[in-house]
Structure 1
């Protein structure tokens, strides 16, 4: 696992600067730095280049959006937890407003931003979207905008191909023309701003803490299942 972190001299709150133009483009700023870190890991270890994934929470989720858009050829998939769409803001004020659910480009414009970020022809990384319905830090409207941003990229329709319940939460899945699961969406009803963890029961995973919220579902385990790193989930159809 590679765990990039922000330096306070770059951002007082040690958040990624996902909304700044210089830090949301290919071959520059924070995305290039993270890409160089990935290169270093690949040189040091026998990494399968077809099995590299990226995930993050909040500003890390927004930076995950940036990495998937600016270096899509690097990643097999990404998971955005309580994050924001790629270039949905380009100023600090715009970022604050978008976090509050105020103002947004159209879905077509957002998708075009991904399409124009590189000359990548595909295939594109799969996407797992997670958001709490009671998030007061990053409004959950951003989850729908992330879906709308990537839906045309993957060529999927508005309606999901599968809807089920996983550990008591609604889960939607979209499949591409090759019958591959390419986008999934979890809305964790009643959860605030954070990563859902499940620390109880027969198979606990994770530790409760700041922004690590006990929810009875392990996002880590479910994301790993979506990426086919571990066995598949057992959904209950609805």
Structure 2
């Protein structure tokens, strides 16, 4: 007999939006197969611009709940920017068999640990893309929204030697939750590990001792789905390894929004945090003008500042003809070891998932999904 969680998940999956098998005309991504044992059972989608230069950078982009890789790309404009600047983009994509609402399983220890589950699948995709297309190991970056942002935080913690930089948009700190109830609490800003414990979790996630990726954090001040306290937790986690204090080196206004910056002892900007005034849950966009990118939609919020453009600039990807030589301050560039993860059968899970009720975002979507599923199963009136 199935347990209640499994039953709800299956009912929710039936009620969820269908993911079409055909490729739409505005889907610029190709499927990448045979990239490894894929213990997390994820789909890999890749974009390579025409005339990709040798040793080009790679950006890994993780979509949010209820989204697909192609949908998040249309909204965020990452492949649009990649075509202009000459870098590859990898989009891992969640499957409904793993999560009924297409969330990456950021709160499941077996999916965020080094060489395990979904984290291992993403790592395998990166390795396959680098080897197959001759990409630059010292210029690999990862970003994501919401559950994808939390999974980006997990990848940065589990494999810090792989990434030169990361960006977490409305996400959560690595290891902040390990159960469904904890995940709901953390999203709402309740409880969670202390600052010291967060830093311990990051240091123990891998054998890496530095140097560390530079981190960009983006948060809406009016986000009630993943509240701003989570951005503070992400910053606290990375301030220790970068040797910077809680107080920023400088605070400035960028596109009328507040940007805080932390610089290391060599004067290099290693952490930045944007607080978008009045914005709810989603990715900040600027879709018009010469620097416009992407398209507004659910969780893709046109608020006059392009997180995609500013993140790429922070990573030094968008300077004209930029082909800098990576050094020890960005990534170790150590040879990557082959994977041999222990694969286990996957179980369908119910996960905290912000359903797009409105542009500001709410935490009520998942509650409605569960209640509707329970009613359909005759378990609730």
Category of TM-score, reference length = shorter chain: over 0.9
Structure 1 unaligned residues grouped into runs of 5+: 233-238
Shift of 1:231: 3.5
Shift of 1:138: 0.6
- Give the secondary structure class of the aligned counterpart of 1:2: strand
- Deviations 1:122-147 (CA, angstroms, capped at 9, x unpaired): 10010000000111111111000100
Give the aligned partner of residue 88 of structure 1: 176
TM norm structure 1 = 0.95
| In structure 1, C-alpha distance between the alignment counterparts of 2:164 and 2:269, rounded to whole Å | 12
Give the aligned partner of residue 273 of structure 2: 185
Structure 2 unaligned residues grouped into runs of 5+: 1-88, 321-381
- Give the secondary structure class of the aligned counterpart of 1:138: coil
Which structure has the bigger radius of gyration? 2
| In structure 2, C-alpha distance between the alignment counterparts of 1:43 and 1:140, rounded to whole Å | 38
| In structure 2, C-alpha distance between the alignment counterparts of 1:74 and 1:170, rounded to whole Å | 30
Are 2:167 and 1:79 aligned?
Answer: yes
Give the aligned partner of residue 198 of structure 1: 286
Give the aligned partner of residue 149 of structure 2: 61
| In structure 2, C-alpha distance between the alignment counterparts of 1:117 and 1:26, rounded to whole Å | 7
Shift of 1:44: 1.2
- Give the secondary structure class of the aligned counterpart of 1:124: coil
Shift of 1:202: 3.6
Q: Which residue of 102, 110, 118 maps to 1:14?
A: 102
Q: Which residue of 79, 99, 116 maps to 2:187?
A: 99
Give the aligned partner of residue 49 of structure 1: 137
Give the aligned partner of residue 234 of structure 2: 146
TM norm structure 2 = 0.60
- Give the secondary structure class of the aligned counterpart of 1:3: strand
1:123-138 correspondence runs (5 A): 123-138=211-226
- Give the secondary structure class of the aligned counterpart of 1:128: strand
Are 2:243 and 1:155 aligned?
Answer: yes
Give the aligned partner of residue 230 of structure 1: 318
- Give the secondary structure class of the aligned counterpart of 2:90: coil
| In structure 2, C-alpha distance between the alignment counterparts of 1:9 and 1:205, rounded to whole Å | 32
- Give the secondary structure class of the aligned counterpart of 2:93: coil
Bigger RCO of structures 1 and 2 (CA < 8 A, at least 6 apart): 2
Shift of 1:9: 0.7
Shift of 1:206: 1.2
| In structure 2, C-alpha distance between the alignment counterparts of 1:122 and 1:60, rounded to whole Å | 24
- Give the secondary structure class of the aligned counterpart of 1:16: coil
Shift of 1:170: 0.4
- Deviations 1:204-236 (CA, angstroms, capped at 9, x unpaired): 21111111100100000000110011139xxxx
| In structure 1, C-alpha distance between the alignment counterparts of 2:104 and 2:277, rounded to whole Å | 27
> Once superposed, what is the RMSD of the aligned Cα atoms?
1.0
Are 2:266 and 1:214 aligned?
Answer: no
The structure 1 segments of at least 4 consecutive aligned residues displaced by more than 3 Å after TM superposition are none
Shift of 1:203: 2.6
